[in-house]
Structure 1
Amino acid sequence: MADDDARHVTLERIDTGVYRATNPRGGTITFGSNAGEGFSPVELLLAAIGGCSAVDVDTVTGRHADHETFAVDVDATYVRDETGNRLTDVEMTFRVTFAEGEGADKARDLLPRAVRTSHDRTCTVSRTIEAGTPISVRIA
């Protein structure tokens, strides 16, 4: 794998049930099951799904007009059964509006295709999940 293709984050435990993720650029986010108002790992997954597609859609439509509103809701059902814990019925809902005008009309026309393309092709996060990418685990 070329260095340009590699992705990496490091997690450190900072308290019981609280972790800090750091990316190679120095960005951090604190999360965990005991992170108070912070995100749980499952909420981060939902945010990553929505965020990845939001970036795609925002980039395409934003070339033509500023958004009056731009929000993405990501909902899922948490299941705990004999096969293990997981999410099912993941659903993204885009709520995007534009002002009036030629650029806004073009952005509005592009919105459905941008959402579809993100889901079907360009969102690495949701594509990885839907492909069922295996995860290997090791102890160093």
Structure 2
Amino acid sequence: MSDENVRTIDLTRIERARYRVTNPRGGFLEIGEGDDTNFTPVELLLAAIAGCTAIDVDYLTTKRSEPQRFDIVVSGVKKSDDDGNRLEDIVVGFDVTFPNDEAGRQAEDRLEVAIDRSHDRLCTVSRTVELGTPVQAGLRS
């Protein structure tokens, strides 16, 4: 595996239940447990699904026309049982409109295909979740 395929982030504890996440390009955000305005890890997972599929759909449709509105809502239901905590029933809902002209209609005609392509093949985040990729956890060497 080449280095160009590896994705990493660093997480540093700021205080109890508050952390700073930094990417290799110097971008950062703080996460917490939901007692303030910071995103929780679960919200970041939903945001990652939304962001990943948004980029795919954006590239596939805006070749024809710029959208007038491009909004996505992602939701899931938290479940706790003998298998542990997880989200179920994750739904990605698009609300996208294009201008009422020839280019806009062409983009609109591509919208469902673009959403399906993102879901079925392109979005690394939702594909990883759906395929159930194992996660290894342990002390760093």
Give the TM-score band, short-chain normalised: over 0.9
Is the 1:31–1:38 Cα contact (8 Å) retained in structure 2?
yes
Q: TM-score, normalised by structure 1?
A: 0.97
1:113 & 1:125 partners in 2: Cα distance?
18
1:95 & 1:117 partners in 2: Cα distance?
17
Listed one character per residue, the Cα deviations across residues 47-81 of structure 1 (whole Å, up to 9, x for unaligned) are 00111001100111111111110001101100011
- The Cα of 1:110 is off from its aligned counterpart by 0.3
Query: 1:92-107, aligned counterparts within 5 Å?
Result: 92-107=92-107
% identical equivalent positions: 45
1:111 paired residue number: 111
Q: Which consecutive aligned stretches of 4+ in structure 1 deviate over 6 angstroms post-superposition?
A: none
The two structures, once aligned, show a CA RMSD in angstroms of 1.0
Aligned pair in 2 of structure 1 residues 72, 82: CA closer, same or farther (>3 Å)?
same
Query: 1:42-121, aligned counterparts within 5 Å?
Result: 42-121=42-121
Task: Name stretches of at least 5 consecutive residues in structure 1 with no aligned partner.
Answer: none
Aligned pair in 2 of structure 1 residues 24, 107: CA closer, same or farther (>3 Å)?
same
Aligned pair in 2 of structure 1 residues 34, 47: CA closer, same or farther (>3 Å)?
closer
Provide the secondary structure at the position in 2 that maps to 1:70: strand
Task: Name stretches of at least 5 consecutive residues in structure 2 with no aligned partner.
Answer: none
- The Cα of 1:83 is off from its aligned counterpart by 1.0
1:29 & 1:35 partners in 2: Cα distance?
16
